[in-house]
Structure 1
Amino acid sequence: MKSTLFTFLIFAFTIYNVQAQDWETDFTAAKKEASKNNRPIILVFQGSDWCAPCIKLDREIWSTENFKTYAKDHYIMLQADFPRKNKNALSQTQTAANKQLAETYNKQGFFPFVVILDSKGEVLGQISYKKTTPENFIKELNNFIK
């Protein structure tokens, strides 16, 4: 019984890791990775547990196989999450880092808010949620990238 449960948990964890979007949460690390791989940073401001359009953007774009496959080779995905529920609370360090990103790139406090940055942190463009396909969203993101 224990070995069956253990095998199932390993299998489920492996599937989750293969399918999960690879999000960076450290801005310095994201810039370093973007510079090293010559990729733009897609900075996403979201309220993962309270913002309905944020949840839709995640479900309809970020979590799709088409987007994840494309993003893996073309973008550095940086997440600045602002959850409200205690069970989803981030560390104080991460909360402070996300607030600093918001002060720099999202002064109006829009959610969701997507900022396209170069490897130095310069803004190339910005968009928000809209009902579209992952392929069209990718095209919109790429319109900001020179």
Structure 2
Amino acid sequence: MKRILLIALFVVGAFAGQAQELKWYTDVKEAITISNKEQKPMLMFFTGSDWCGWCIRLQNEVLKTAEFKKWASDNVVLVELDYPRAVAQTPELKSQNNELQQAFGIQGFPTVFFTSAESKDGKINFKGLGKTGYVAGGPSAWLTVAESIVHPKKS
């Protein structure tokens, strides 16, 4: 009986753990729809996930922390725009990411761009709020910068 109870608790715990994971969109059009529906800006993470040391460091020190997950779920829609060297991507995803890199003038990784957007007549119009990259000091330092972009103080 104890064994069945332990297995049941493990299964429930596994589902609860999955519920805590953040949703990172890779399809920008889908992210725009969610962003507009939830009235939250998008956090667009331009990354070289399998080769960029600073991108990996930002992931480990900030984006995978409980503090970031809590803030992100309350404040933004997450979009990952990846430029891997060893991982294959569909031609559509590569094309989308390259177009967005050009549109936002991204020259280095990691770059985190905060924006809202709308689709009109088949064209996407972005409204940039600000950008950042790696910030030393862990999640609290990074979130201070992000918060100042997403919720600037009224003057």
Q: TM > 0.5 between the two?
A: yes
- The match for 2:30 is 29
2:52 is the counterpart of 1:54: no
Distance across 1 between alignment mates of 2:50 and 2:75: 27
Q: Which amino acid aligns with 1:65?
A: A
Aligned length in residues: 135
2:73 is the counterpart of 1:64: no
Percent identity, please. 26
Equivalent in 138, 151, 155 of residue 133 of structure 1: 138
Task: Give 5+ residue unaligned stretches, structure 2.
Answer: 1-6, 119-125
- The match for 1:77 is 78
Moved more, 90-99 or 45-54: 90-99
Structure 1 outlier segments of 4+, above 3 Å: 10-21
- The match for 1:99 is 98
Deviation of the 1:56 alpha carbon: 0.3
TM (normalized to structure 1)?
0.82
- Select the structure with the greater relative contact order (CA < 8 A; seq sep ≥ 6): 1
RMSD value, Cα: 2.2
Question: Does structure 1 retain, via aligned residues, the 8 Å contact 2:134–2:142?
Answer: no
TM (normalized to structure 2)?
0.77
- The match for 2:110 is 112
Q: Which amino acid aligns with 2:39?
A: N
Structure number with greater Rg is: 2
Distance across 2 between alignment mates of 1:56 and 1:118: 26
Q: Which amino acid aligns with 1:131?
A: A
**Structure in which a larger fraction of residues adopt strand:** 2
SS in 2 for 1:122: strand
Moved more, 31-40 or 17-26: 17-26
Equivalent in 138, 142, 148 of residue 143 of structure 1: 148
Task: Give 5+ residue unaligned stretches, structure 1.
Answer: 1-6
